[in-house]
Amino acid sequence: MNEWNIQSRSHACQACQTHFVDKQPYHTLLFDQKEGFNRLDICESCWQAQYSQGGSDRKGFVSYWHGVYHAAPAAPPDAIQKENAESLLRKLIELNDPQHCAATYILAVMLERKRILKVKDQLKRDNGQRIFVYEQPKTGDIFTIPDPNLQLNQLQQVQHDVAHLLEHGLGSPAQPATATPMEAPAGAAELIVGETAATAEKENGTKSAPMAL
């Protein structure tokens, strides 16, 4: 089962259906259900009345956080833009191709290091696979990204693949790795995983599970 997922922040409370206004606090609950991860965005009033007590006891609950709603700005004029890490990440998740699992993970870590994405939580499925929950703070979108358990000897090739995708886009034939790959997200797999886990601990104020390879 492929765990890649993007879920946009709701523009209205999913309990009372009242539209959020700019800079309004909201609460998010994340549930693990048979069809995949499902988020629930709740206004402060409904949170206090229905979810603050016992919300985490509901079937499938895996994570919680709170945020501030930002109204979407006016759409900019259409323009041809160069591929960037976030747009590529979204395209890879939409494509849902297992061969890009490692590249998707590396892109998420790159965006987290650049403070474009934030780690909200890390989960562990019954099969032992770790799932990172990232949020794009400006849009409220969440990304669920599985940990591909990269080994040190795989990093250079994955970094090269990501660089090739950024430069040429999807659909272009892969090229052999060179001796000077793209700027690495980290110098070693331990650093990539360690930094991501540390960020999760800082965001949630809790100690994460060990992230050994």
Residues 62 and 92 in one domain: no
User: What b/e sequence results for 145-173 when a residue is b if at least 16 CB atoms lie within 10 Å of its CB, and e otherwise?
Assistant: bbbbebeeeebbebbbbbbbbbeeeeeee
Domain residues for the domain of 140 are 85-204
Residues 99 and 185 in one domain: yes
What kind and span of H or E run contains 189?
helix 189-204
pLDDT tens for the chain, 213 residues: list them. Answer: 455 677 888 999 999 999 999 999 999 999 988 778 889 999 999 999 999 888 788 888 999 999 999 887 765 654 434 458 899 999 999 888 888 899 999 999 999 999 999 999 999 887 888 999 999 998 899 999 999 988 888 888 888 888 888 888 777 655 544 433 334 433 333 344 444 444 444 444 444 333 332
Q: What is the pLDDT of residue 3?
A: 59
Residue with tokens 């052999």: 176
Residues 136 and 166 in one domain: yes
Q: What is the pLDDT of residue 196?
A: 43
Domain membership of residue 31 (yes or no) is yes
Q: What is the pLDDT of residue 108?
A: 93
Q: What does the DSSP 8-state code read for residue 116?
A: S
Q: What is the pLDDT of residue 30?
A: 92
Q: What is the pLDDT of residue 119?
A: 93
Domain membership of residue 174 (yes or no) is yes
Residues 89 and 43 in one domain: no
Domain membership of residue 73 (yes or no) is no
Residues 6 or more apart in contact with residue 89 via CB below 8 angstroms: 104, 107, 108, 111, 143
Number of domains the chain contains = 2
Residues 99 and 61 in one domain: no
Residues 91 and 182 in one domain: yes
Residues 97 and 127 in one domain: yes
Residues 145 and 189 in one domain: yes
Domain membership of residue 117 (yes or no) is yes
Residues 56 and 137 in one domain: no
Domain membership of residue 74 (yes or no) is no
Residues 24 and 54 in one domain: yes
Q: How far apart are the C-alpha atoms of 7 and 29, rounded to whole Å? A: 12
Q: How far apart are the C-alpha atoms of 53 and 158, rounded to whole Å? A: 44
Q: What is the pLDDT of residue 2?
A: 52
Residue 131: burial class (beta carbons within 10 Å; 0-12, 13-18, 19+): buried
Instruction: Decide: 111 and 86 in contact? Cβ < 8 Å.
Output: yes
Q: H helices within 8-154, ranges in order?
A: 44-46, 85-95, 101-113
Domain membership of residue 123 (yes or no) is yes
Residues 107 and 37 in one domain: no
Domain membership of residue 4 (yes or no) is no
Q: How far apart are the C-alpha atoms of 45 and 62, rounded to whole Å? A: 22
Residues 89 and 194 in one domain: yes
Q: What is the pLDDT of residue 192?
A: 45
Domain membership of residue 213 (yes or no) is no
